[in-house]
Amino acid sequence: MLLRGAAVVLFGTEPMFRNHPKGLFPQVARALYWSASVTGAGARM
């Protein structure tokens, strides 16, 4: 299977708007983890 393009995550809000977002850090972390696992980032060393 050949995948092309970037793994993109679209938020309906700005999770990093303030220094103390209301519980949105877990969503950002999941999005980063998902996009890295889909694209295989870190697997090529």
Do 8 and 35 meet the contact criterion of CB atoms below 8 Å apart? yes
**Band (31; pLDDT cuts 50, 70, 90):** confident
Task: Please give the full DSSP string across 6-44, using - where no structure is assigned.
Answer: ------SS-TTSSSS-SS-HHHHHHHHHHHHHHHTTTT-
Q: Among 31, 37, 36, 38, which Cα is nearest to 12's?
A: 31
Closest CA to 7 of 26, 25, 32: 32
pLDDT band at 24 (very low <50, low <70, confident <90, very high): confident
- Whether residue 10 contacts residue 34, with contact meaning beta carbons closer than 8 Å, is answered with no
pTM of structure: 0.60
